[in-house]
């Protein structure tokens, strides 16, 4: 039997698992819809002094659902030279890697699918699985544009996975744990120069790591200025060129679902996650936690999409130089300083 603390009832293992899986399957499309509407359709439009989609629903609020309906009605096309089995499975592999990310992100004292002792290690490991799906898509499409896009994406994701991991190491050293719940607790119980009223959000002591994490996350999402794998002017749509209908929609949901998850991980690592000062653990924290975490996720997502709408696309050599010549040395220096201060203080 598995206890569900929030409801104070005992459930069978399969019942608790079904509830958790259902919750994650609900959060992924909802998170994707929120980011697409708020940032892609509205924030970008207003930043560029235009209205954006306005016809479907009040202020264009139903445009996202209209887009989803359009993709679902399109024909599921397989190119003549495609490897049909691999071609069909590629978007599933990509979206499953996004799905697993949500398993370790805590939204409250008891609101977590699985509180692993190595939670952040698990999250960073499974986030790399999407590379396999992208390679599958590019190779199986039988298109030079798709293959070039997949190879670009693989080189980019491998290069930026390292600074993404190294940016987290400083937080792990400071918190003394790999558990995401433990990292939230470390921030809640910490102090800033002896002042512990709001805890110690690690963004103050790990600001360099926070910036590196955001830049690396931007590259992991293959969003501008790191969108060379899907550069429309060069590769049509890269590894997604030959996809249509619901399979293309899977890639789209995976991109924005991953953005939501990475923003959630950044909020947990650097902004205290679901923690609310002065609110005791228990039912109130479980009720307020998702809202608090949601606000922090929207703040981090705003920074990610602001970068997307501001900078032009890098050249491939500039992308690799930024990772290997700047982000990795800077993250290693951050780790060294954090380790020294951890020992001294």
Q: Rounded to whole angstroms, how far apart are CA atoms 121 and 118?
A: 5
Return the DSSP state at 56. S
The pLDDT value given to residue 299:
92
Q: Are strands 9-11 and 2-4 parallel, antiparallel or unpaired?
A: antiparallel
Q: Rounded to whole angstroms, how far apart are CA atoms 56 and 58?
A: 7
Q: Rounded to whole angstroms, how far apart are CA atoms 245 and 56?
A: 20
Helices H, strands E: what count in the chain?
A: 14, 2
Which residues of the chain carry a pLDDT beneath 50? 1-3
The pLDDT value given to residue 210:
93
The pLDDT value given to residue 98:
85
Tens digit of pLDDT for each residue in 40-58? 777 877 777 777 777 777 7
Which residues are within 8 A (CB) of 136 and not within 5 positions of it... i.e. 6 or more apart?
A: 86, 87, 89, 90, 93
Helix residue spans in 59-140 (DSSP H): 63-73, 84-101, 119-127, 130-140
Task: Give the CA distances from residue 135 to residues 79, 90, 248, 294, in Å, rounded to whole numbers and listed in that order.
Answer: 17, 8, 15, 32
Place of tokens 């259902």: 22
302: tokens are 């705003």
Q: Rounded to whole angstroms, how far apart are CA atoms 244 and 61?
A: 24
Task: Give the CA distances from residue 12 to residues 2, 202, 316, in Å, rounded to whole numbers and listed in that order.
Answer: 6, 38, 52
Q: Which of 248, 257, 229, 207 is nearest to 160 (CA)?
A: 229
The pLDDT value given to residue 1:
40
Tell me the Ramachandran region of residue 130: left when phi exceeds 0, alpha when psi lies from -120 to 50, beta otherwise. Answer: alpha
Burial of 85 (0-12, 13-18, 19+ CB in 10 A): exposed
In contact, 235 and 145? CB cutoff 8 Å: yes
Give this prediction's pTM: 0.86
Domain boundaries, the chain: 77-344
The pLDDT value given to residue 5:
53
In contact, 23 and 113? CB cutoff 8 Å: yes
13: tokens are 């293992």
Q: Rounded to whole angstroms, how far apart are CA atoms 65 and 61?
A: 9
Rg (CA), the chain: 21
Average pLDDT, the chain: 82
In contact, 260 and 254? CB cutoff 8 Å: no
The pLDDT value given to residue 86:
86
């Amino acid at each position: 039997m598995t206890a569900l603390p929030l409801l104070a009832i005992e459930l069978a293992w399969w019942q608790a698992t079904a509830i958790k899986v259902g919750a994650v399957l609900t959060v992924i499309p909802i998170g994707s819809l929120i980011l697409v509407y708020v940032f892609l359709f509205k924030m970008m439009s207003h930043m560029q002094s235009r209205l954006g989609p306005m016809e479907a629903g009040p202020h264009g609020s139903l445009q996202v659902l209209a887009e989803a309906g359009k993709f679902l009605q399109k024909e599921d096309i397989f190119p003549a030279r495609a490897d049909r089995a691999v071609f069909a499975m590629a978007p599933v592999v990509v979206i499953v890697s996004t799905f697993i990310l949500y398993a370790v992100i805590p939204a409250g004292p008891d609101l977590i699918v699985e509180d692993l002792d190595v939670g952040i290690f698990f999250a960073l490991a499974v986030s790399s699985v999407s590379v396999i799906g992208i390679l599958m898509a590019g190779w199986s499409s039988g298109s030079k544009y798709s293959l070039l896009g997949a190879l670009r994406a693989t080189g980019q994701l491998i290069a930026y996975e390292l600074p993404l991991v190294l940016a987290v190491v400083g937080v792990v050293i400071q918190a003394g744990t790999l558990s995401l719940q433990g990292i939230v607790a470390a921030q809640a119980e910490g102090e800033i120069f002896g002042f512990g009223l709001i805890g110690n959000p690690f963004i103050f002591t790990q600001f360099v790591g926070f910036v590196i994490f955001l830049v690396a996350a931007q590259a992991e999402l293959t969003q501008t200025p790191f969108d060379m794998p899907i550069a429309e002017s060069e590769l049509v749509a890269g590894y997604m060129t030959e996809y249509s209908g619901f399979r293309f929609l899977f890639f789209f949901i995976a991109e924005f679902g991953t953005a939501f998850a990475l923003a959630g991980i950044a909020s947990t690592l650097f902004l205290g996650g679901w923690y609310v000062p002065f609110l005791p653990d228990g039912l109130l924290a479980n009720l307020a936690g998702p809202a608090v975490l949601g606000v922090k996720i929207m703040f981090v997502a705003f920074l990610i999409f602001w970068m997307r709408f501001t900078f032009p696309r890098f050249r491939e050599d500039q992308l690799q130089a930024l990772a290997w010549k700047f982000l990795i040395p800077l993250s290693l220096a951050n780790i060294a300083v954090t380790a020294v201060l951890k020992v001294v203080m």
